[in-house]
Structure 1
Amino acid sequence: MSTTENKAIVRRFYEEVFNQRNVDAIDELVHPEFLNHDPTPVASRDPESMKQFIHTITQAFPDHHHAIEDLIAEGDKVVMRCTLTGTHQGVFPGFLDMPPTGKSICQRQIHILRVRDGKVAEHRVVRDDLAMMQQLGLIPQPEMTA
């Protein structure tokens, strides 16, 4: 597949699965041998657990949205820079096991995805979890000094 086609698959994956919460699209867009290198305990490990993950993140952040800012592709890999926003309105078991704070998050993320046979086959992510924890009030933010 071309890099343009691979970028289109990744864009569809985030727009349809995450932003539109269309878990049925997972069967079409995620490879059956999907490999996720995200160390978060609740991260999906295969297409079926990804469906549960979408429900879990939506329970915790019903308005979650990945705003795609950049898609860069080479060969079978696509790098996506995005911003995740949402409002903490529910428990996120295994990650944010705490009552909802009602606070909003704005988290910068970089995802590296590998596309195989027209489907997302592998995923790596770098997220600013510290900033998210500070925004939720779980970790104090450092005071700014002049």
Structure 2
Amino acid sequence: MTDNKALVRRDPEEVWTDGDLDAIDEIFAEGFVLHDPSAGDDLRGRDEYREYVETYREAFPDVEYEVEAAVAEGETVALRYTARGTHEGSFMGLEPTGDRVSVSGMEMYRVEDGTIAELWTSYDALGLFQELGVVPPLEELGEESTAD
């Protein structure tokens, strides 16, 4: 039987950090589904996931994922991670800032027949946009509302 935690760790470590997009064909099921609230509709299949990863890696080419915890139960594996990278490419309409950012997140994977069949991801998008200067820190928002 495949070690589900070892399989799942290949995504943040090989696909995201190392940029080995060929590993997607090895570790993800053909009918893979990604659930990411920041992406709008669910992404389906390896090709859509590859494009998703490429979009982030073009914006943050030196991205590194640090898996801080991994828990497995049956076909489910959950990860807690911190991703760090430098904003060097266009990202969600935002021109490169050159800023180094750090974002925490959690992911839950469903493994089926030795491949990743489904992934739910949630990361601190608000914190990322605050680090990139798109959204002011909450402290500043509070100051603006009390200044009226």
- TM-score of the pair, normalised by structure 1: 0.88
Instruction: Give how far 1:105 is off.
Output: 1.3
Gaps in structure 1 of 5+ consecutive residues: none
1:1-146 equivalence runs, <5 A: 1=1, 5-41=3-39, 44-92=43-91, 96-143=92-139
Select the structure that is richer in helix: 2
Gaps in structure 2 of 5+ consecutive residues: 143-148
The one-character-per-residue Cα deviations of 1:47-100 (angstroms, maximum 9, x if unpaired) are: 0112222221111001111110000010100000000111111112xxx21211
Aligned-CA RMSD value: 1.8
Q: Aligned AA for 1:36?
A: L
Runs of 4+ in 1 over 6 A off after TM superposition: none
Residue aligned with 2:138, SS: coil
Instruction: Give how far 1:143 is off.
Output: 3.0
Residue aligned with 2:47, SS: helix
Q: Who wins on radius of gyration, i.e. which is larger?
A: 2
Query: Does structure 1 retain, via aligned residues, the 8 Å contact 2:35–2:43?
Result: no
Q: Aligned AA for 1:48?
A: D
Corresponding residue pairs, total: 140
Instruction: Give how far 1:44 is off.
Output: 4.1
In 2, Cα distance between the equivalents of 1:110 and 1:54? 16
Instruction: Give how far 1:45 is off.
Output: 2.5
- TM-score of the pair, normalised by structure 2: 0.87
